[in-house]
Amino acid sequence: MANIQRPLSPHLQIYRWQITMVMSILNRATGIALVVGAAWVVWWLLAAAGFVPYAPLAAFSGSIVGLVALFGFTLCLTYHLFNGLRHLAWDAGIWMDIPQVYATGWITWALTVATTAGIWIAVWMTGGLA
């Protein structure tokens, strides 16, 4: 029997990317990002309580890097929330057919973008970034 050099199981190079695959990977990635963001929230809570100086937090949060990180945290938070609600519906046994799985995936993306944009527009309009 000839020894054929091939992977033992299919790999990402073989599979065609699908929205379900991307959303599963992003759900894990946003969960990790939210852990990092939670450390930032703890820093903010400690500063608000007076346990650590507030000025370094305000300087970092108001910088370009800080604002991009806050935007990313908001994006991760909304995505993880809506995808979690989608999984909760699956746990209840609804939206399990393939067309519904794809539709709810695209709806999750749309809600994520719209909600994140809405939050940041509201913050900007109320002067919360100043």
3-state class of 7 per DSSP? coil
The pLDDT tens digits of the residues spanning 30-79 come to 999 999 999 999 999 999 999 999 999 999 999 999 999 999 999 999 99
Using the predicted structure, report yes or no on whether residue 99 has a pLDDT greater than 70: yes
pLDDT value of residue 44 = 93
Reported pTM: 0.84
Domains along the sequence of the chain with CATH: 19-125 (1.20.1300.10)
**Does residue 111 come out as left (phi exceeding 0), alpha (psi in the -120 to 50 range) or beta?**
alpha
DSSP 13: T
Using the predicted structure, report yes or no on whether residue 10 has a pLDDT greater than 90: no
Are 129 and 67 in contact by the 8 Å Cβ rule? The answer is yes
pLDDT value of residue 8 = 67
Helix (H) or strand (E) run with residue 114 in it: helix 98-125
Are 19 and 102 in contact by the 8 Å Cβ rule? The answer is yes
Q: Which of 51, 47, 74 lies closest to 129, judged by CA? A: 74
